[in-house]
Amino acid sequence: MKKLINAPDAVVREALEGMELAYPDRLRVSYDPAYIVRADAPVAGKVGIISGGGSGHEPMHGGFVGPGMLDGACPGEVFTSPTPDQMMAATKAVDGGSGVVHIVKNYTGDVMNFEMAADLAGEEGIPVEVVVTNDDVAVQDSLYTAGRRGVGITVIAEKICGAAAEERRSVVDVAELGRRVNAEGRSMGMALTACTTPSSGEPSFVLGDDEMEIGIGIHGEPGRYREPLAPASVVVDRLASAVVEDLPYSSGDQVLAMVNGMGGTPLIELFIVYRELHAFLEERGITITRPLVGNYITSLEMAGCSITLLRLDDELTRLWDAPVNTPALRWGA
């Protein structure tokens, strides 16, 4: 295992300290329990938005804390959902009197821990609305399974809910909007290499030099199927076909298209993927009106990418364009 770390079990804490030192004016960090809130939290009269999940997906979520996006983030251990006490403390820290929205990726652990936190918040009289994201089409959705995973759309939901909260919309409204974003969004990812959690020290799966894994999750979970390494155009075809057919997206749709790197993929490759995605969608009459290319929701040092589409309307576009001022996503500010 080759990592720029000091000790496997100090990774999350030390990275948090690094973030706090790097953004002293923008973020406030608590260590026990661990959470990050924007420096001016709580914002009176504004719905608070928190998210959280295992670490190892940076910049998600801590990098999205700031005006126009999240009020707070709860980092768990690497690839491990945070705990209810973190979420509860963050919820209290960001509640400006208008309630708090929890944006939760659909994983058993995340959902259960956030459920317990919402129960606790309810007991303390803080109205909490929960938005569960489950956009990963690689996983079959069924009542009898854990359901689809929450992946790339989470970032976009955080941005759009954040913009709505800045407009002082109600906690119910903001959550409703988050659910709409989730409903209009779909994702799928792939890997060229696995990743290694600091605590296990071993790659999460083993891929041959000439293989790639399609449909991976963001926790080093193996994917839907494995196949021989192929050109970027084929990779995009695999991912984008599954994404487009699932909703489905159709001719005339305007979309936000995110090409996301899994952490170990250089930007030059992501632009090639974006080029392929653009061609793929254009062929189907789907127009990208808002692009986002970069590393936003990662899996440690995994090489690979994911594609997320969100069907846009005027409202979603306006909220996407609204100013945002976070370490990892910033415009208009």
Partner 1 sequence: MGCVTPDADTIDHAAVVAWIRRFAAEIDEHRAELVRLDTAIGDGDHGTNMDRGMRKVVEKLDGAAGDDIGALLKAAGMALVSSVGGAAGPLYGTLFLQMGSATGGAATLDTAGLTQALEAGLRGVQARGKAEPGDKTMVDALVPAVEALHRAQSDGVAVGEAARLAAAAAEEGMKATIPMEARKGRASYLGPRSVGHQDPGATSSYLLLRSAAEAFANT
Ligand X SMILES: Nc1ncnc2c1ncn2[C@@H]1O[C@H](COP(=O)(O)OP(=O)(O)O)[C@@H](O)[C@H]1O
Residues forming the active site: 57, 219
Min separation Cβ 54 and Mg ion, Å: 6
Report the partner that residue 83 touches, choosing among its own copies, partner 1, Mg ion, none (CB closer than 5 to 8 A by kind): partner 1
Each residue 77-96 as x (binds ligand X by CB under 6 A) or -, in order, gives ---xx---------------
Residues sharing a CB contact under 8 Å with residue 200, sequence separation 6 or more, in sequence order: none
- Of 51, 55, 80, 83, the residue at the interface with Mg ion (CB under 5 A) is 80
Closest CA to 161 of 143, 149, 146, 176: 176
One residue of 53, 62, 109, 147 binding ligand X per CB under 6 A: 109
**Footprint of partner 1 on residues 132-161 (CB under 8 A)?**
138-140, 144-146, 149
- Which residue of 15, 116, 130, 293 would you call a contact of partner 1, by CB under 8 A? 116
Our CB check for partner 1 shows the closer of 166 and 246 to be 246
Number of residues that bind ligand X (CB under 6 A): 4
Joined tokens for residue 34: 């661990």
Q: Which is nearer to ligand X, 68 or 147 (CB)?
A: 147
Site residues (vs Mg ion, CB under 5 A): 79-80
Site residues (vs partner 1, CB under 8 A): 33, 54, 76-85, 107-109, 112-113, 115-116, 138-140, 144-146, 149, 197, 199-200, 202, 204-205, 217, 219-222
